[in-house]
């Protein structure tokens, strides 16, 4: 019995470790984002995993306006699911956001922001881009690997929302120590909801994904779109409407 119990623990440990195929570009989320200030491209296959940065204007491809920066440190312990930027960014605060997972021993989802130091001039040195980003990151220690984890940025770069099948988060960009996370059941009641894409406007948001149907039905999943509003006091998303598309076999 003791040996059997130890084997179960070992199998559980193996199942809890996330080992992604870094060469599959489109797995788990969108790896590229762009606005009028910068373009960011997550490249997990590099050693170490990196972000490629290109500053605008985009018709200027001088080496001084582009660089690679390591994903948090020089190890292979990180995998970035997705990156995002605001549509109406503050030009006095250049930054981008990312979400992913720590994959060394234990899988821990995270969300973070990379902020550029505006005191550096890109024309000063080809290395000024690479040496001028600082990271702030928050881990979700109470949750394990998530197959689906998407983030949406408020247009002015102030708030970043994270959505998964298990949790919802708010990351405060100006105050990076302010971070909230809660069980997804407090936002939507359907435990099978798989978020796949999110878009946030100034006054509302939408999140699209799939919900699981009865296992006996031929159509196993149906597409769903939630319309979001936001609490004026704590900025938490609130479901105000939903649309479930009619799925047919084979779609």
Q: According to the 3-state scheme, what is the secondary structure of 45-109? A: CCCCCEEEEEECCCCCCCHHHEEEEECCCCCCCEEEEEEECCCCCCCCCCEEEEEEEECCCCCEE
Give the mean model confidence (pLDDT) for residues 214-243: 91
DSSP 3-state percent helix, strand, coil across the chain (nearest 5): 10, 40, 50
Judged against a pLDDT cut of 70, whether residue 201 lies above it is answered with yes
Residues 193, 44, 176: CA angle, nearest 5 degrees: 65
Phi-psi region of 30 (alpha: psi -120 to 50; beta: other; left: phi over 0): beta
Judged against a pLDDT cut of 70, whether residue 108 lies above it is answered with yes
Cross-strand pairs, 228:
205, 239
Closest CA to 159 of 225, 102, 111, 91: 111
| Prediction pTM value | 0.83
The pLDDT assigned to 32 comes to: 94
């Amino acid at each position: 019995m003791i040996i059997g119990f130890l084997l179960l623990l070992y199998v559980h440990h193996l199942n809890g470790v996330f080992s992604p195929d870094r060469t599959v570009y489109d797995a788990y989320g969108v790896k590229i984002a762009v606005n009028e200030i910068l373009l960011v491209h997550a490249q997990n296959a590099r050693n170490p995993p990196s972000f490629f940065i290109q500053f605008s204007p985009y018709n200027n491809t001088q080496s001084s306006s582009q660089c690679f920066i390591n994903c948090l440190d020089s190890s292979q312990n990180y995998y970035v699911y997705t990156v995002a930027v605001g549509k109406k960014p503050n030009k006095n605060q250049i930054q981008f956001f990312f979400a992913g997972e720590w994959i060394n021993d234990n899988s821990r989802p995270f969300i973070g922001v990379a902020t550029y130091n505006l005191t550096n001039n890109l024309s000063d040195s080809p290395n000024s881009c690479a040496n001028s980003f600082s990271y702030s990151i928050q881990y979700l220690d109470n949750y394990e690997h998530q197959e689906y984890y998407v983030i949406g940025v408020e247009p002015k770069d102030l708030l970043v929302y994270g959505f998964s099948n298990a949790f919802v988060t708010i990351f405060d960009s100006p105050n990076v120590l302010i971070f909230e996370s809660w069980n997804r059941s407090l936002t939507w009641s359907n435990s099978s909801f798989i978020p796949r894409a999110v878009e946030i406007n100034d006054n509302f948001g939408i999140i699209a994904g799939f919900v699981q149907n009865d296992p006996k039905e031929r159509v196993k999943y149906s597409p769903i779109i939630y319309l979001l509003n936001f609490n004026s006091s704590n900025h938490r998303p609130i479901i105000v409407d939903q649309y479930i598309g009619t799925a047919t076999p084979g779609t």
